[in-house]
């Protein structure tokens, strides 16, 4: 999968929406101190840049040098390439010492990780007992009834056969993901989303979003164009119905957040 992420890195930067500042303010409100954040699977540093406005320092890690090369540099962010799995000694060398991190964040990436190994790292590096882990993602955009109906058919017919097993955890909105951390007051992941991303998009931007998906890249590797002429025409007709070239696409965020406790 790492090779696919390298190939789609620029599409990811261009096509993916930005997270709302309220999400980071909410996460930060759950950590007593704001000294150090670790953003895992940082990609182009999208989440890390928002964390840098709240936490004194951010360590942002990713396995892809291509993704990291596209990140915006800020004085209090340290970008670090890491292997897919790390020993505790490697975490201390590449990330931070034991019990030194206030928050670990994973934006649209926890479903790709070796979670048992990763959770060991998290429990070792977070401050006890109030250090927080927050993992979130989003799935299909919502525009209007006409466009959304085409999206659902596109997903069911074109994308679904090429979804990797980890992506199905995101499809399930992380409800079934293993998450061995103490609950945070006022958060119930089974309730409607607390946050929604809104992005003003043209139809071309919309297509770029779907081209950033791993399923789209997997299909292309097999010589299959998922955005076929028929689907493109269906999207064009639905998009043109209201006469607006630009539309607000909404991406509900599903969030899992917990405290490390005294583990």
Q: What is the pLDDT of residues 136-189, one digit of tens each?
A: 999 889 999 999 999 999 999 999 999 888 888 888 889 889 999 998 876 766
Please tell me whether the overall predicted TM-score, pTM, comes out greater than 0.85 for this model: yes
The gap from C-alpha 5 to its chain's centroid, in whole angstroms, comes to 13
pLDDT grade for 29, boundaries at 50, 70 and 90: very high
Q: Which domains does the chain have, with CATH numbers?
A: 2-141+165-198+251-259 (3.40.50.150)
Q: What is the mean pLDDT of residues 238-248?
A: 97
More confident residue, 16 or 152: 152
Residue 199 and residue 251 in contact, taking contact as beta carbons nearer than 8 Å: yes
Cite the DSSP H helix spans in the chain: 2-7, 9-15, 21-28, 46-51, 65-69, 88-94, 115-125, 145-153, 165-171, 203-211, 214-221, 229-240
What pLDDT is attached to residue 257? 95
User: In sequence order, what are the residues at sequence separation of 6 or more whose Cβ sits closer than 8 angstroms to the Cβ of residue 160?
Assistant: none
What pLDDT is attached to residue 9? 44
What pLDDT is attached to residue 65? 92
Q: What is the mean pLDDT of residues 120-139?
A: 96
- For residue range 76-118, what is the model confidence (pLDDT) as tens digits? 999 999 998 999 999 999 999 999 999 999 999 999 999 999 9
């Amino acid at each position: 999968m790492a090779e696919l992420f390298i190939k789609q890195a620029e599409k990811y930067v261009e096509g993916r929406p930005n997270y709302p500042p309220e999400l980071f303010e909410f996460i930060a409100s759950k950590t007593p101190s704001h000294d150090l954040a670790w953003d895992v699977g940082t990609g182009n540093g999208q989440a890390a840049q928002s964390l840098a406005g709240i936490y004194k320092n951010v360590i942002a890690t990713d396995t892809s040098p291509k993704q990291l090369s596209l990140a915006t540099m800020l004085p209090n962010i340290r970008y670090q390439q890491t292997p897919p799995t790390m020993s505790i000694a490697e975490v201390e060398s590449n990330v931070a010492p034991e019990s030194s991190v206030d928050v670990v964040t994973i934006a649209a990436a926890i479903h790709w990780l070796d979670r048992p190994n990763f959770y060991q790292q998290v429990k070792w590096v977070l401050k006890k007992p109030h250090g927080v882990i927050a993992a979130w993602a989003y799935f299909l955009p919502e525009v209007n009834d006409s466009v959304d109906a085409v999206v659902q058919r596109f997903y069911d017919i074109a994308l679904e056969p090429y979804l990797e097993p980890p992506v199905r955890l995101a499809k399930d909105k992380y409800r079934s993901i293993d998450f061995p951390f103490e609950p945070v007051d006022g958060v119930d992941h089974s309730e409607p989303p607390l946050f929604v991303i809104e992005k003003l998009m043209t139809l071309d931007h919309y297509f770029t979003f779907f081209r950033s998906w791993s399923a789209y890249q997997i299909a292309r590797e097999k010589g299959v164009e998922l955005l076929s002429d028929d689907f493109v025409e269906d999207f064009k007709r639905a998009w043109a119905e209201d006469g607006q070239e630009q539309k607000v696409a909404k991406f509900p965020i599903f969030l899992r957040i917990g405290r490390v406790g005294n583990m």
